[in-house]
Amino acid sequence: MLEVGYLHIDNPIAIISSHKHPETEVAAGLLLLDGFDLDDVSLQKMQESIESYNAVEKDALKTRAMGICATCSRDEPLLEAAKLASRNLCLLDLRLSKIRDPIRLLELIPRLKRCGVTLSLRIRPEDLSNELLEKLQESELDIIHLDLRGLNGAGPKMVKKAKDCRGPVVMALADIGEFDDARVLMAMGADVVSLRGADPEFAQWLSLAMKEYDSISGWGNAPKHICAGGDLRGLAFCCPPVKHCAVLGALKKAGMTPEEFVARKLALARGTPLEKGEGTCFGSLVWCCKASKMCYLREAAMQKIGLSDREYMELKKKLAEDLLRPSC
Ligand code: SF4
Ligand code: SF4
């Protein structure tokens, strides 16, 4: 379950669907009603769409979070849309098509947030300069929604770049044809993967498969190891920095010295099952690799304390969150 603002997203798949023909049958974690260009569509129409959608919603899908995607050449309608979204506990997914000026965008975000809305920004990588990414990281934006369609393999790198900024939650809109396409984006740091125009049967299957994967694995979007190109969350699987390897670059990016890293990891593991690990390379599971990497030493240590792979990965997830929290 991902908590963002007032949204509870219980499944990492989001479906983007035209507000004129909403996809009401797919058990995704988030349904985004698209196509609200507020230069042409009234706020009343927006409210009616939300209400009519809620009316047809089946009990089994009642937990699905909802959002509205909007753009406008003027600020006022967007501010009203933010209030409307907030009243209806919907995400407002801001589209850039009519908000091209970064200065307007950066001024608009805090004004929208003051309306109490949970806010996302849908943006193409070519519109996202390093400078803008840095400023968005400092803004109150809740979700950065990367539109990665047509990028042919460069998408995961963009996700990693956004994730390593340690700012808003990352949602990735991509061409997803199979489970692994979504899993790769999640392993690089996407918290949610969104689909547009997907076959409803496939979207339904993927949503259920992702939910199950998350619950079985204990960390559905677990990163790769740092030396395999993973994002900074992969520090949870790193050994003590005793040799020259990719961990040093990652620590620099994370703003931590090797000594601080060792002290933080040991402090965070204290009193948890990760502190144990007799017979492992470094004597504690806090330094151990991902559960998917076969290791008899780790498995023996875990068996000894009755720790399952799922519990181990849940502990590593929490470790990564605490390790990368600025105040930690
Ligand atoms: S510390 Fe270990 S896991 Fe981390 S980057 Fe180096 S070799 Fe890889
Ligand atoms: S004991 Fe196994 S899992 Fe732990 S650090 Fe060594 S190789 Fe990795």
For the chain, give every domain's residue range. Answer: 2-217, 226-324
Predicted confidence (pLDDT) per residue in 130-177, tens digit? 999 999 988 999 999 999 998 877 889 999 999 998 889 999 999 999
Q: Which of 298, 299, 307, 316 to mutate to test the pocket of ligand 2 (most atoms within 8 A of CB)?
A: 298
Instruction: Pick the ligand that lies closest to the CA of residue 239.
Output: 1
Backbone angles phi, psi at 188, to 5 degrees: -95, 0
CA of 278 to the centre of ligand 2 (A): 11
Q: Which of 94, 162, 170 is nearest to 129 (CA)?
A: 162
Give the residue carrying structure tokens 């988030």.
30
Give the residue carrying structure tokens 């390897």.
245
CA–CA gap between residue 159 and residue 14 (Å, rounded): 16
pLDDT tens, position by position, for the chain (328 residues)?
A: 899 999 999 899 999 988 877 666 777 899 999 999 999 999 999 998 888 877 665 555 566 899 999 999 999 999 999 999 999 999 999 999 888 899 999 999 999 999 999 999 999 999 999 999 999 988 999 999 999 998 877 889 999 999 998 889 999 999 999 999 999 999 999 999 999 988 889 999 999 999 899 999 999 999 999 999 999 999 999 999 988 899 999 999 999 999 999 999 999 999 999 999 999 999 999 999 999 999 999 999 999 999 999 999 999 999 999 999 875 3
| Secondary structure (3-state) at 38 | coil
Instruction: Pick the ligand that lies closest to the CA of residue 242.
Output: 1
Q: Decide: 289 and 237 in contact? Cβ < 8 Å.
A: yes
Q: Which of 157, 161, 210 is nearest to 185 (CA)?
A: 157
What pLDDT was estimated at residue 328? Answer: 38
CA of 316 to the centre of ligand 2 (A): 14
Instruction: Pick the ligand that lies closest to the CA of residue 250.
Output: 1
- The finding on whether 262 has its CB within 6 A of some atom of ligand 2 is no
Which residue puts its alpha carbon closest to atom 3 of ligand 1? 238
2-217 has which fold? TIM Barrel (3.20.20)
Instruction: Pick the ligand that lies closest to the CA of residue 301.
Output: 2
Q: Is the pTM above the cut of 0.85? A: yes
117: CB partners within 8 A, 6+ apart: 5, 82, 83, 85, 86, 91, 92
Q: Which of 287, 289, 292, 293 to mutate to test the pocket of ligand 2 (most atoms within 8 A of CB)?
A: 289
The pair of structure tokens assigned to 61 is: 């899908």
245: CB partners within 8 A, 6+ apart: 227
Pocket of ligand 1 (CB under 6 A): 225-227, 237-239, 245-247
Instruction: Pick the ligand that lies closest to the CA of residue 224.
Output: 1
What pLDDT was estimated at residue 63? Answer: 67
Predicted confidence (pLDDT) per residue in 179-217, tens digit? 999 999 999 999 999 999 888 899 999 999 998 999 999
| Secondary structure (3-state) at 269 | helix
Please, is 250 exposed, middle or buried when counting C-beta atoms within 10 Å of its C-beta (0-12, 13-18, 19+)? buried
Nearest ligand 1 atom to the CA of 246 is: 5
- The finding on whether 99 has its CB within 6 A of some atom of ligand 2 is no
CA of 317 to the centre of ligand 2 (A): 17
Q: Which helix (H) or strand (E) holds 65?
A: strand 65-71
The DSSP result for 161-210, as a single string, is HHHHTT-SEEEEE----SHHHHHHHHHTT-SEEEEES--HHHHHHHHHHH
CA of 267 to the centre of ligand 2 (A): 20
Q: Which helix (H) or strand (E) holds 317?
A: helix 309-324
8: CB partners within 8 A, 6+ apart: 1, 2, 63, 65
CA of 150 to the centre of ligand 1 (A): 32
Q: Sign (positive/negative) of CA torsion 215, 218, 221, 225? A: negative
Nearest ligand 1 atom to the CA of 237 is: 3
CA–CA gap between residue 221 and residue 192 (Å, rounded): 9
- The finding on whether 288 has its CB within 6 A of some atom of ligand 2 is yes
CA of 292 to the centre of ligand 2 (A): 11
